[in-house]
Structure 1
Amino acid sequence: MSSFFKKTACVTGIILLGLFGLIGFYSTTLPDFYLVSKGSELSVNSFFTISSKPCESKVTVAVSGGSSGASRYTKNMLMLFGAVPVKEVESKTMERPMLYPCGQPFGIKLLTEGVMVVDLQKVDSSSPAKDCGIREGDVIVSIDGEKVKSNADVAKIIRSSNGEACSVRIKRGSNDLTFKLCPRLESGSYKAGMWVRDSSAGIGTLTFYDPENGTFGGLGHPVCDADTKEPLPLSAGTVGEINLTGFNKSRSGCPGQLLGEFANSASTGDILKNCESGVFGTLNANPCPNAKEFPLGFRQEIHPGKAKILSSIDNDGPKEYEISIEQINLSDSAEHDLVIKVTDKTLLEKTGGILQGMSGSPIIQDGRLVGAVTHVFIEDTAKGYGIFADEMYSKTSELAESTIENAG
């Protein structure tokens, strides 16, 4: 009998150890906040069943305008197997937004807030900018109290300094710093020993358009400086129509690229935000009025398996291509949300998989807009990363609410 009890205790211990391991895993990898469709209960698509139950009174918050309408915030306890508490989270119950997935290319023009330092160079024997503490990626806001908006502004102030120390105010991440830069004379002109950039232009893919407030989301990642790889601080930006002229096919070790040019100088909208989740702003008109609206899919609803992307590789407009969602990372600290793989034979034969410029291509699963393509794998161009669509939608919601508040 004692042997039986020992075996039972051993098995029970193993089960409990495994259970505690699962609780720890889900507690770490599941996010602390969720969007939930009105009339639905919070649950998470996972290998093991994750449901929830309210653990606090609901609080109703009125949201002015927007397709989300009035929202309800609730404290919930996530439950493993419907019985084992995992962690307390917050959810926002809302009307599921209806969006137009786009999948068409758009031109991006950005003017930076200040100018970004992209290179440090020697003047005579050393770089005055580097010597005073300035780094590549710093954003110069003003010199001697004078705001700078272009590389011409910087050059003019430095040339007129007569070698006197200049007070340079910069932004470095969230820090606001000031340095004393001493220009040096070279070839009859005073120089700072740095190259700066004040604008950028490129091609991306529109992810969605929200007809409720005229906002859009695109790219799924920030527009970064080509040299520093840092997100460009936005002062102003516009979007425009693009004519695709072709593409370089992707192959292992060398991702291809969409090629195109601005159709004209006319602006079709404004970029109001350039951040880790993409570029966001307003459009003058619906870019895909004949397309079908899709409901927004929330991250906890996504599951591994078949899906589609909408993307354009020529001027015939966006087409659907089959993909597989291979990995989903719900963790708030995840560097990438999704791993996808192109399975569509037509796209693989034509492009070799994902092309640079397809970033922002909407991902559709189970009749919902669930994400957007963001990056291509260098060594396997059939694969790439994606971002959750609800993350991108939250940025357009913030823009809409901010516009309403400012108008009020």
Structure 2
Amino acid sequence: MLFKKLSITLVIVVTMLFQTVNVFAADVILGGQSIGIELDYDGVLITGTYDISIDNKKYNPSSDGYLTGDIIKKVNGQSIDSISTLMANVEKEIDNKNTITLTLSRDKKELHKELKFQESDGKFTTGLYVQDGLTGVGTMTYFNPATHHFGALGHVMMDVSLESDVIIKKGSVYNSYVKKINPSENGKPGEKIAEIGSIQIGTIYDNNNYGIYGNYDDYPSQDKQIISTASMDEVEEGEAYFLTVLDGHTLTKCSINITKLKKQNEPSIKGITFEITDEKVLSLTNGVVQGMSGSPIIQNGKLIGCVTHVDVNNVHQGYGLYIDWMLENDK
């Protein structure tokens, strides 16, 4: 059986609109730290199928209706929550020479399918590619001491390589160490190369179109800076900057010029359009890179939003989400 767990850096997404909401200001602890994000499926996700041989005949699970995006929930009625428990339960049923029935979740419906397998020299293979979670690297936007919540990333985290639109809602956030930067090129955004650390910062309770949100355990005390948030009406075209990590754990200030603002009556992406003007940062990144998502944008001493997207055709240009919409999700 072949298993995999994907690691992705994050900056480019699609989204949809929510209903009209009221927004509010807050005093928060400024972010900018690089974070590692681990999201866990409620079960094990099928990411594809491959051919195996059963009774000397070619067999592929897709012929029995297994689909990419199905989530395996149970093996013969026993709940599973990881690849290791899936393997252990399947091996036990094989040893006991039992027929194996998987309980699947698809489009919020429960399905039951027999699991067929190829066995050779005491090893088995099922024709299913699976993963039990996603990992990625992004940037913390803020910690809210009033709610003990955090907001990060500024967009949804999902596996864009799969046809499935399954979105994981729960997981954990860890510290992260940036090792190097692969610079951007027009048509090919770069990325931060980072290691996810062992120190857990918080627990995720929501992953939606406007970011990752959760409860934090602690924040880096050396980086503590209380800052007020600005309403959308306070944001102006012109000079601003964002904070991000380009090396190790060190926060870097990146000067930008806000070139366009969309006034929005409800949550929506790309409200802020900006270009990087910081020559030192450009010498390292050549523009917005994946992993900058969530980098807090500051103007006139207030937190106004976060970096979310890169303009693929002009990587010096990026887009941001108003902090109003992140605070709404914090509620």
Counterpart amino acid of residue 33 in structure 1: T
Offset from partner CA, 1:309-341 (integer Å, 9 cap, x none): 122212332324223243526265856444332
Aligned positions, number: 305
CA distance in 2, matches of 1:224, 1:119: 16
- Choose between structure 1 and 2 for higher RCO, CA contacts under 8 A separated by at least 6 residues: 2
CA distance in 1, matches of 2:235, 2:69: 36
CA RMSD between the two structures: 3.0
Match status 1:164 vs 2:93: no
- Give the C-alpha shift of residue 353 in structure 1: 0.8
Matching residue of 2:220: 287
* Counterpart pick for 1:143 among 66, 75, 97: 75
* Counterpart pick for 2:204 among 271, 286, 310: 271
* Counterpart pick for 2:180 among 246, 266, 274: 246
Higher strand fraction: Structure 1 or Structure 2?
2
Offset from partner CA, 1:238-282 (integer Å, 9 cap, x none): 32222222211112222221122244x232322222222222222
CA contact (8 A) 2:185 2:315 kept: yes
Equivalences for residues 5-404 of structure 1 within 5 A: 33-35=20-22, 96-124=25-53, 125-128=58-61, 130-159=62-91, 160=93, 162=97, 164=99, 166-172=101-107, 175-187=108-120, 191-225=125-159, 227-228=161-162, 230=165, 232-235=167-170, 237-263=171-197, 265-287=198-220, 291-299=224-232, 301-314=234-247, 315-328=249-262, 330=264, 332=266, 334=268, 336-397=270-331
Q: Could you tell me the percent identity over the aligned residues?
A: 27
- Give the C-alpha shift of residue 295 in structure 1: 2.3
1:296 to 1:281, Cα distance in 2 relative to 1, 3 A: same
CA contact (8 A) 2:241 2:255 kept: yes
CA contact (8 A) 1:296 1:368 kept: yes
1:345 to 1:385, Cα distance in 2 relative to 1, 3 A: same
- Give the C-alpha shift of residue 391 in structure 1: 1.9
CA contact (8 A) 2:183 2:285 kept: yes
Moved more, 300-309 or 246-255: 300-309
CA distance in 2, matches of 1:31, 1:111: 25
Give unmatched runs, 5+ long, in structure 1. 1-29, 37-93, 398-408
CA contact (8 A) 1:307 1:325 kept: no
1:337 to 1:181, Cα distance in 2 relative to 1, 3 A: farther
1:31 to 1:149, Cα distance in 2 relative to 1, 3 A: closer
CA distance in 2, matches of 1:395, 1:283: 15
CA distance in 1, matches of 2:64, 2:266: 37
CA distance in 2, matches of 1:99, 1:190: 52
TM-score under structure 1 length normalisation: 0.66
Offset from partner CA, 1:148-183 (integer Å, 9 cap, x none): 1122333444452658362422143xx223142341
Greater Rg over alpha carbons, structure: 1
1:368 to 1:385, Cα distance in 2 relative to 1, 3 A: same
1:33 to 1:104, Cα distance in 2 relative to 1, 3 A: same
Matching residue of 1:400: none
Counterpart amino acid of residue 45 in structure 2: M
1:248 to 1:281, Cα distance in 2 relative to 1, 3 A: same
CA contact (8 A) 1:143 1:168 kept: yes
CA distance in 2, matches of 1:157, 1:151: 10
Counterpart amino acid of residue 267 in structure 1: Q
CA contact (8 A) 1:169 1:177 kept: yes
CA contact (8 A) 1:214 1:282 kept: yes
1:292 to 1:268, Cα distance in 2 relative to 1, 3 A: closer
CA distance in 1, matches of 2:78, 2:308: 38
Offset from partner CA, 1:188-231 (integer Å, 9 cap, x none): 66654211111333321100111112211111123323642745
Counterpart amino acid of residue 208 in structure 2: C
3-state SS of the aligned residue for 1:267? strand
TM-score under structure 2 length normalisation: 0.79
- Give the C-alpha shift of residue 392 in structure 1: 1.8
Counterpart amino acid of residue 137 in structure 1: G
CA contact (8 A) 2:286 2:315 kept: yes
CA distance in 2, matches of 1:304, 1:369: 15
CA distance in 1, matches of 2:114, 2:264: 46
- Give the C-alpha shift of residue 136 in structure 1: 1.5
CA contact (8 A) 1:329 1:336 kept: no
- Give the C-alpha shift of residue 390 in structure 1: 2.0
